[in-house]
Amino acid sequence: MDLSYILNELGENRALYYNAISPPIVQTSNFAFDTVDEMRKRFQDEMGGYIYSRGLNPTVDILRKKLAALDGAEDALIFNNGAAATFAGILANIKSGDHIISVEHPYSWTKHLFDKILPRFNVNTTYVDGTDSTAFENALQSNTSLIYLESPTSWYLELQDLSAVAQLAKSKGIITIIDNTYATGIYQRPIELGIDIVMQTATKYISGHSDTLGGVLTGSTEMMRKIFLSEYMCIGSGIQPFNAWLLLRGLRTLPARLERIERTTIKIWEYLKAHPKIESLIYPFDPLYPQYDLAKKQMKAAPGLISFYVKIYDAQEIEAFCNGLTHFKMAVSWGGHESLLIPKLATMPRESFDPAIKDHRMIRIYVGLEDADYLIEDLNRL
């Protein structure tokens, strides 16, 4: 399906709303019926139409159609945030006594789910080095029901061979789910590589404006229906119409923003690569990156995120550099118009800093929509 059609036309029946270019925000909690029989039919199939906006809503449905098509999926569900989407996608596919295999550096709240919540229900998780495809097979247990992937991961930008993992999982009847937030459906298509469920934090690139939260799951019609009729409806974590409208607005410019971010990211990477105070860089499209060939094989580009290690061995000096930046904002997340930075030492007590531990000297940046020279001027403080 043509990308321009998906972003500009798919799901938009403008004749229903006065030929308005921008779809309306259907800000309603519930929907009325003309007859008892119509209401009865909707109760029997709530995913077949509108009854209550905790389930389906016309504004949200336009976004669902677009995001499903963007991933090459049959259907999609939209959540209030990425953590809610991940929670529902995982919970729908496990039961008490099951075993999960996960990459070793998942998003922090996903790890909290694996380590703190699911063990209360006798569901245990094994973490593996996702860069080694054989690690997944070696970690298999008779009760393994789900494999969780994040490619690339958000700090270390580690990749998994999605085709290899999907093939292994399908041969064992195991469900696969991936966090594809880094690349989006524009630059990586996990469903085409055999992955069952794709999650994105729509807060990031899809929104693009740092003004709303959102999460999305895409997959087969059967899988999305399974999640909708249980976790989605029961937890009540579906997105609100206004937030869905904001994501529709952001989606219009997604390709243009990603292209600009990618070009600027390459310039920043080239600058950092030659900087005397940079010990090493982590960037999937760096020819020296250990997984460069895999990155080129399953991703079209690597926008935005670069992690690097500084040759600065004093915590106060690292902090002074970060505190002195004026163009990079010190903040979590990524995908908006603004460039961001997080030093790893901000995630730990200052007294825990040990310069001998390489990770303590790690900094992650996100390259936004600013000019490259403008950002390099800021990084010259290093």
- Nearest CA to 106 among 134, 79, 125? 125
pLDDT above 90 (res 1)? no
Q: What phi and psi values does residue 158 have, to the nearest 5 degrees?
A: -80, 145
Residues of the chain with CATH 3.90.1150.10: 254-379
Q: What is the pLDDT of residue 353?
A: 97
Instruction: Give the pLDDT band (50/70/90) at residue 175.
Output: very high
CATH number for domain 254-379, candidates 3.40.1440.10, 3.40.50.1820, 3.90.1150.10, 3.40.640.10: 3.90.1150.10
Q: What is the pLDDT of residues 69-121, one digit of tens each?
A: 999 999 999 999 999 999 999 999 999 999 999 999 999 999 999 999 999 99
Question: What average pLDDT does range 27-52 have in this prediction?
Answer: 96
Q: What is the pLDDT of residues 237-256, one digit of tens each?
A: 999 999 999 999 999 999 99
- The CATH number of 3-252 is 3.40.640.10
Instruction: Give the pLDDT band (50/70/90) at residue 313.
Output: very high
Residues of the chain with CATH 3.40.640.10: 3-252
pTM for the whole structure: 0.96
Instruction: Give the pLDDT band (50/70/90) at residue 284.
Output: very high
Q: To the nearest 10°, report the CA torsion of 9, 13, 19, 20.
A: -60
Question: What average pLDDT does range 319-335 have in this prediction?
Answer: 97
Q: What is the pLDDT of residue 344?
A: 97
Average pLDDT, the chain: 97
Q: What is the pLDDT of residue 202?
A: 98
Q: What is the pLDDT of residue 4?
A: 95
Q: What is the pLDDT of residues 179-227, one digit of tens each?
A: 999 999 999 999 999 999 999 999 999 999 999 999 999 999 999 999 9
Q: In what order do the strands lie in the sheet containing 215-219?
A: 75-79, 215-219, 197-201, 175-179, 144-150, 99-103, 124-128
Question: What average pLDDT does range 309-317 have in this prediction?
Answer: 97
State the Cα–Cα distance between residues 49 and 47, nearest whole angstrom.
6
Q: What is the pLDDT of residues 339-348, one digit of tens each?
A: 999 999 999 9
